[in-house]
Amino acid sequence: MRKNNIIIIGVGGIGSNLAEFISRFLNFEKEFCGKIVLIDGDSFEEKNKTRQSFIRYGNKAESKVLELIQKFTEIPFVFHDVYINKKNVSEYILDDAVVFLCVDNHKTRKIISDHCNTLNNITIINGGNDLLDGSVHLYVRENGKDITPSLTKYNPEIETPEDETPEEMSCEKRSISEPQIFFTNLQAAIIMCQVYYSLYTDTKTKNLPSIIYFDIATQKVTPSFRK
């Protein structure tokens, strides 16, 4: 397989944990990875401490990269202190990347999904959760054709989002977040890493589920092979 740049969009409850896991793996599997790019316009604050770990306050992408470069010296890291939007998405997401999508709003997912539908070769591993349950969605596009369903195909909440991007929200709205549990974020991050490992050690994408549902209360993990 060719080397792919890894792009982690959203460095919050899921993304901050995933960045640590995926970097640890790729630090010793250098043939899998070009560089790791972290993108988030949000800042780490006191209220985030129950679910997120950063070495300092301030922009999450920058803080996490400063931490990772000390631990994993074999990987080039880059950070961007921005939110992805319609104007800049084509600047940050290019062909042949693997995108770990860890944002908490459907409108940003829609923007990224629509852009990736125009590329020739791209992989999205999208993770999200509510309080106790969540899902991980795998989207693979090769040679201009969808190998697995796009993020919008079976998800009307992404196809027609009713929420706002962080840039569209007022400061008051951004300060209010849905309750989250660290273990649910962690489960999403772990499954996303497992999907990545399975995808890049097994070239038969058709053998992989396009969606994996999980529930930490019932301890169920349910794969779905939608086409």
Look up the CATH number of the domain holding residue 201.
Answer: 3.40.50.720
Q: How far apart are CA 201 and CA 12, in angstroms?
A: 27
Q: How far apart are CA 225 and CA 227, in angstroms?
A: 6
Query: What pLDDT score does 145 carry?
Result: 96
Query: What pLDDT score does 103 carry?
Result: 97
Instruction: Compute the mean pLDDT over every residue in the chain, rounded to the nearest whole number.
Output: 91
Contact 79, 38 (CB under 8 A): yes
Check pLDDT > 80 for residue 46.
Answer: no
The two three-digit tokens of residue 69, written as one number:
């470069």
- Across residues 103-113, what is the average pLDDT? 97
Residue 54: pLDDT band with limits 50, 70, 90: confident
Q: Could you tell me where the beta strands, DSSP code E, fall in 45-164? A: 58-59, 77-80, 98-101, 122-129, 133-142, 145-146
Q: Which domain holds residue 108?
A: 4-224
Could you tell me which of 76, 54, 77 has the C-alpha nearest to residue 65?
Answer: 77
Find the DSSP H helices in 98-176.
Answer: 106-116, 156-159, 171-174
- Across residues 24-33, what is the average pLDDT? 85
Query: What pLDDT score does 51 carry?
Result: 81
Specify burial of residue 200 (Cβ count, 10 A radius: 0-12, 13-18, 19+): middle
Residue 52: pLDDT band with limits 50, 70, 90: confident
Check pLDDT > 60 for residue 1.
Answer: no
Specify burial of residue 21 (Cβ count, 10 A radius: 0-12, 13-18, 19+): middle
The two three-digit tokens of residue 25, written as one number:
């793996």
Q: How far apart are CA 108 and CA 85, in angstroms?
A: 7
Instruction: Provide the percentage of residues in the chain whose pLDDT is more than 90.
Output: 74
**Higher-scoring residue by pLDDT: 4, 77:** 77
**Higher-scoring residue by pLDDT: 63, 57:** 63
Pairing of strands 133-142, 145-146: antiparallel
Q: How far apart are CA 167 and CA 42, in angstroms?
A: 10
Instruction: Provide the percentage of residues in the chain whose pLDDT is more than 70.
Output: 94
Query: pTM for this structure?
Result: 0.94
Comparing 39-48, 129-138, 211-220, the range with the smallest average pLDDT is 39-48
- Bridge partners (DSSP) of residue 9 are 39, 101
Query: What pLDDT score does 173 carry?
Result: 65
Query: What pLDDT score does 203 carry?
Result: 63
**Higher-scoring residue by pLDDT: 54, 109:** 109
Count up the domains in the chain and report the number. 1
Could you tell me which of 60, 64, 54, 58 has the C-alpha nearest to residue 22?
Answer: 64
Residue 176: pLDDT band with limits 50, 70, 90: low
Query: What pLDDT score does 208 carry?
Result: 87
CB atoms within 10 A of CB 65: 21
- Bridge partners (DSSP) of residue 39 are 9, 80
